[in-house]
Structure 1
Amino acid sequence: MAGDRTPKTVGTVWGLLVLNTLGSAGAKTIVPLPRSLIQMVTMGALVAAFTLALTVNLKLRIRASAYVSLLTLLLVTSVISSANLESGFGALFRCARLALFVGTLWLLSRWWDGSTTFVRHHIRMYFAVLGLVAAGLIISPGAALPDLYGGRLVGALWPLTPPQIGQYAAVIIGLTVLLLLGRRTDRKGAAVVIVPSLVLLALTHTRTATLGLVIGLTLAIGSLILTSAAARRFFTWAVVCATVAAVGFASVLQAWFLRGQSKENFSSLTGRAKVWDALLAEPRSTGETLFGMGLGDKSFGGLPIDNSWLAVYQEQGLIGVCLVAAVIIVLGGIALLRPPSLERACAIFLISYCALASYTEAGLGDASPYLLHLALAASLLAAPAANAARLDAAAATPATDAPDATPEVPRRRVPQWARRTELS
């Protein structure tokens, strides 16, 4: 019975981690939700995830993981930088949250076996989130497409920003396309996920998510071209369709991409560059340069940083930047060394998407969907544990008192005609 419950419980834990990383800041919802209530729900989800993971892994069996090891070092750096309380007691609270997040990943690493099990959990949970977004759009289109965000899609039932929705849609679209190419799902099931997710992605007008989806899928499918005929066909048709769209709908695509912004605003990345320049020009001590200011809300001067590398530099210093870079390099290097497979392609998609999105989105230095995407990539790149159950059983079996005892040799059956010959 326990073995039957474990996969479901592990999926529940993964879903709770997704809920925790949704965040508590965003657009105004139809029914106003106090931020304290949302934070209580998200933090409660993380505590519940850690408790459930500990329940199903009481013996604390974990698998070696370079990814989670690097996150553990990042946690230590975060605690050191937050101990001086320059960012207030909130920094220590965020450190505790990161510690529970990393601890849960360590407990789940026991089931990281290089299969697509966690990919399916990932798609289901984020598709449920997108379903909530679609429900808000149907119930109140005005609240879901507010003028405050330039008519871009937001979460009307749960406070989600357009970049968040675009990220979730792009990730599950890419993973579902790869599952379809690998024949791990049928066309009908894939269409149920891909089509509505594409519509929601288009309504968010999120350039980062769109580019991440296109570039990530290109790299992932490219890794399958030599071994998969389906990947070659899909790549060919994608190039043809992209060429036709670029020629026939160039003006429409350009208008969607610019979102009505001026060239000056677009070149400054919607004002992000000004915040980045001010952050880099800020004088810092040696300790602040190495360890940062402590975990904060990923803002500088009251404005969002919107860059993972600069956010990590601000909060965890150069040491944190080096650790985050090591995460991307190690996962990317392992993916390149693996033989071509669907699992490797999914990992390449996730790694490339997170690396590209890190330029205009923050999140690689704290518990976030991006760290969860990379955790999924780490689970896909883990060595298969086909003999894990046999090793567990061997470990549970007591050793014999006489290890040098001669094993019993099975008796060879003597044919009937040979018996008669011996008797005669």
Structure 2
Amino acid sequence: MSGSQTHGGLPGGPEAAQGRPGAEARPAGAPKLVGTVWGLLILNTLGSAGAQTIVPLPRSLIQLVTMGSLVAAFALALVLNLQLRLKPGAYLFLLTLLLVPSVLSSAHLESGFGALFRCGRLALFVSTLWLLSRWWDGGTTFVRHHIRMYFAVLGSVAAGLVISPGAALPDLYGGRLVGALWPLTPPQIGQYAAVIIGLTVLLLMGRRTDRRSAAVVIVPSLVLLALTHTRTATLGLFIGLALAIGSLVLTSAAARRFFTWAVLCGAVAAVALGSMLQAWFLRGQSKENFSSLTGRAKVWDALLAAPRTPAEKVFGVGLGDKSFGGLPIDNSWLAVYNEQGLTGVGLVAAVLLVLGGVALLRPPSLSRACAIFLISYCAIASYTEAGLGDASPYLLHLAVAASLLAAPTEAAALPTSAVPRRHLPRWARDRR
């Protein structure tokens, strides 16, 4: 799946240098269209509800685009993998099992026919991931696709900010940044920015990109993250990076240097900008509003207090729009409990535990660090954001983590001397 590594170029570039002595030979990389499939999956998970855009977009049109992108992603992935070469793994197996409580609960139509539609969407989403699993080999190819596609999404947000600052920073959201060209909410933008910042920092530490290319991604993404005032994304970024870099500290001098400088800069910022950081974090909210997590706790209490039949406790009420009583649930665990019951909660917990356990058992490496960052970010965000039980960016983040933790193909795992001469890079052929 991997290409060639380079110390320059954007994070979306190739990953391993063929002309670099000591590099392992790898089989032919994934087709370029795999990146297109990944971009279509990301487009499908952008959602259809959000802020008012500069040019009003009918919700039906947005849903047509997002659902059309999923169908196109599945069809293209099927064309690329006509032989149906799949790479079984715990992550995809557990996601497939998650379809069982989803279908059983949605079949009662308590959430309407939309529940069955969402089940079909989830099934198509998981099927596309299965088709792409052929190219999961522990390399960072899908990390680069992830960064490239979400950076393009953030580019549309920045363009909307330049074209119409008033629409991009509306009073309705308290002056927080929203998508003015495509309806994106502040938490969505914060999530995308935090994820690509963290992954790009790790690629830079692993010398898979240069400082200039990394700065092109990190600096504007940091600005957009700050404008969203999204606390969950910010905490997820810093805690996830701390855990990821901590996994490299014993084996990477670059990780030790970065960790040291990060601690020093953080201490200086806390002293010099303490009041400003506190004001940014509170977002002008009262202590009561802040302690109730902007009203989320009231929705959570009502959801837990609602009467449920034994079947609803086990399997949920069916896939819905992640709301309760007309208000967003904003908690992955409670959303899954409401829609897929305790069975769904157990399967989602198993996903995080299995991925986290596999990551801890792997030897220190860049791939492992990126996986730890993504898993920890999703675990942190699950407390105030929904999405772990349905087709969402969080499932795509975890899919990238699964691709990073997948075992390499047999051809990629062979030592240089065991690889046929025609598959070796030129420098290796010359030395044999």
TM-score normalised by length of structure 1: 0.90
The CA deviation at 1:387 is 1.4
**Which of 331, 334, 338 is 2:355 aligned to?**
331
The CA deviation at 1:77 is 1.4
Distance 1:356 1:26 in 2: 23
Report SS of the residue matched to 2:111.
coil
| Counterpart residue type for residue 315 of structure 1 | E
Distance 1:74 1:38 in 2: 27
Match of 2:49 in 1: 25
* CA separation of 1:261 and 1:225: change in aligned 2, threshold 3 A: same
Distance 2:184 2:161 in 1: 12
| Counterpart residue type for residue 341 of structure 2 | G
Per-residue CA deviation, residues 283-340 of structure 1 (Å, 9 max, x unaligned), is 1000000000000000000000000000000000000000000000000000000000
**Which of 358, 373, 376 is 1:352 aligned to?**
376
| Counterpart residue type for residue 49 of structure 1 | A
Match of 2:335 in 1: 311
| Counterpart residue type for residue 256 of structure 1 | W
* CA separation of 1:388 and 1:62: change in aligned 2, threshold 3 A: farther
**Which of 72, 88, 94 is 2:112 aligned to?**
88
User: Is 1:214 the equivalent of 2:238?
Assistant: yes
* CA separation of 1:234 and 1:389: change in aligned 2, threshold 3 A: closer
Say whether the 8 Å CA contact 2:198–2:373 is kept in structure 1.
yes
Report SS of the residue matched to 1:317.
helix
Match of 2:101 in 1: 77
Distance 2:224 2:317 in 1: 37
| Counterpart residue type for residue 263 of structure 2 | V
Distance 2:72 2:291 in 1: 44
Report SS of the residue matched to 1:59.
coil
Higher RCO (Cα < 8 Å, 6 or more apart): 2
Per-residue CA deviation, residues 109-147 of structure 1 (Å, 9 max, x unaligned), is 000000000000000000000000000000000000000
Match of 2:222 in 1: 198
| Counterpart residue type for residue 333 of structure 1 | G
The CA deviation at 1:6 is 5.0
Say whether the 8 Å CA contact 2:30–2:135 is kept in structure 1.
no
Distance 1:386 1:141 in 2: 52
Report SS of the residue matched to 1:115.
coil
| Counterpart residue type for residue 119 of structure 2 | C
The CA deviation at 1:388 is 6.8
User: Is 1:265 the equivalent of 2:289?
Assistant: yes
Distance 2:251 2:217 in 1: 26
Say whether the 8 Å CA contact 1:175–1:346 is kept in structure 2.
yes
User: Is 1:131 the equivalent of 2:155?
Assistant: yes
Match of 2:66 in 1: 42
Match of 1:340 in 2: 364
Distance 1:257 1:56 in 2: 46
Per-residue CA deviation, residues 246-277 of structure 1 (Å, 9 max, x unaligned), is 01110000000000000000000000000000
Say whether the 8 Å CA contact 2:300–2:329 is kept in structure 1.
yes
Distance 2:358 2:271 in 1: 38
The CA deviation at 1:75 is 1.0
| Counterpart residue type for residue 364 of structure 1 | L
**Which of 402, 415, 418 is 1:378 aligned to?**
402
Unaligned runs of 5+ in 2: 1-26, 415-432
Say whether the 8 Å CA contact 2:91–2:402 is kept in structure 1.
yes
**Which of 172, 176, 184 is 2:208 aligned to?**
184
The CA deviation at 1:76 is 1.6
Match of 2:12 in 1: none
User: Is 1:53 the equivalent of 2:74?
Assistant: no
Say whether the 8 Å CA contact 1:16–1:46 is kept in structure 2.
yes
**Which of 253, 264, 288 is 2:277 aligned to?**
253
Distance 1:386 1:204 in 2: 45
User: Is 1:160 the equivalent of 2:171?
Assistant: no
| Counterpart residue type for residue 271 of structure 2 | V
Distance 1:140 1:233 in 2: 41
Report SS of the residue matched to 1:7.
coil
Distance 2:412 2:117 in 1: 37
| Counterpart residue type for residue 31 of structure 1 | V
User: Is 1:274 the equivalent of 2:298?
Assistant: yes
Per-residue CA deviation, residues 161-212 of structure 1 (Å, 9 max, x unaligned), is 0000000000000000000000000000000000000000000000000000
Say whether the 8 Å CA contact 1:6–1:56 is kept in structure 2.
no
Q: Name which one, 1 or 2, has greater alpha-carbon Rg.
A: 1
| Counterpart residue type for residue 400 of structure 2 | L
TM-score normalised by length of structure 2: 0.89
| Counterpart residue type for residue 221 of structure 2 | S
* CA separation of 1:6 and 1:329: change in aligned 2, threshold 3 A: closer
Distance 1:340 1:15 in 2: 29
Match of 1:150 in 2: 174
